[in-house]
Amino acid sequence: MTKNSFSNRLLDWFDQHGRKDLPWQQHISPYRVWVSEIMLQQTQVSTVIPYYQRFMARFPNVSDLADAPSDEVLSLWTGLGYYARARNLHKAAQIIINDFAGNFPGTVDDIQSLPGIGRSTAGAIFSIACGGRAAILDGNVKRVLSRHGAVTGWPGQKSVEQTLWAMAETYTPEQRVADYTQAIMDLGATLCSRSRPQCEICPVSADCQALALGQQSDFPGKKPRKQIPVRQTTMLIIENPQGEILLQQRPGSGIWGGLWCLPELEVDASIEDFLTRQLNSSGRIQPWAQLRHTFSHFHLDIHPIHIKLNREPGCVMEGESQLWYNGQPQQKIGLAAPVKKLLNAAVQTDLLTEAQI
């Protein structure tokens, strides 16, 4: 099989069956493609679409994004996860304004120099939006190529990744690179899916080695399993007499960097002492059911405790960036996903309480 045979069959399939109506495929520009590619990292298309539409409505160009407060950027990312993507997107926009005179970089190397952009993302932006030739190797493409060549091993291993990159470079055509890039991503997202691949209608199945072996489910190789550790934390849902809830902003880096979260109680610390020391107040204390939030590398078991203060706090907590959250639209802040769940639960609890009075 020649590389032209692979790419030609894929392009013929794309012309008839490829996705061409996604929001970022309309009015294509490097900025629009870049935002979509960052959002699509480890996130499904159906999840991304509404986030992308809201994000682009608010930040239609790189200048608008660069000038925006980080809180507003994170607020539009709330619920999408992997928040470092949003922080890097914001930082990269500012670099484009300051170092590239507001023009999106026009080479793969310059694109890849921006925060949050790796080799595959840079290749996708360059090929789709800039008209250049560059290979890509995202998760969908890894699956297609691993199966087609029966490449053994987990793609996260350096040697396996190098083999797949060599295949990706070989099969990327000289012409219609933008269509080919979208085509191979579409193939992995639709027909060559993780489970129950539709090999009978795949355009490149005739020489797929995994299919010939009857071992499609064995490729790509699985990541070596290891036990995911579990961490514990206690989050305080502190509500003042006006129904506002105390939030603190986390440091710019690390887990939930830059997002607004609920205060966390140190292990073995007394809630009453915390309220007296930090807020010079007291209140009704009610533990809630445990909530588990799973990150890529650990589980976090959250023990929420709802505290309804019986009087206005007499002081503010020292050394913290904080606010009293009332849920109004003008409070455009980024919230960690489990914090948003707990805030919504607090609102429902208040509504139930009011209904019972």
Buried (b) or exposed (e) across 220-230, using 16+ Cβ within 10 A?
beeeeeeeeee
Is residue 23 within a helix (H) or strand (E), and if so which, with residue range? none
Residue carrying the six token digits 């939930």:
256
Distance CA 208, CA 199 (A): 9
Please report which helix (H) or strand (E) contains residue 230, including its range.
strand 230-239
- With contact defined as beta carbons under 8 Å apart, do 51 and 76 qualify? yes
Is 239 an active-site residue?
A: no
Token output for 249: 């902003």
Q: How far is 105 from 113, CA to CA, in rounded Å? A: 9
What single-letter DSSP state applies at residue 240? -
Dihedral sign from CA coordinates of 190, 192, 193, 198: positive
Say if residue 155 is preceded by a cis peptide, omega within 30 of 0: no
Asked if 25 and 19 touch (Cβ cutoff 8 Å), the reply is yes
User: What distance in Å separates the CA atoms of residue 299 and residue 232, rounded to the nearest whole number?
Assistant: 9
Whether 11 and 183 have beta carbons less than 8 Å apart is answered as: yes
Q: How far apart are the first and last CA of the chain?
A: 76
Which residue from 193, 187, 198 is spatially nearest to 6, judged by alpha carbons?
Answer: 187
Q: Which of 37, 239, 312, 354 is catalytic?
A: 37
The residues annotated as belonging to the active site are 37
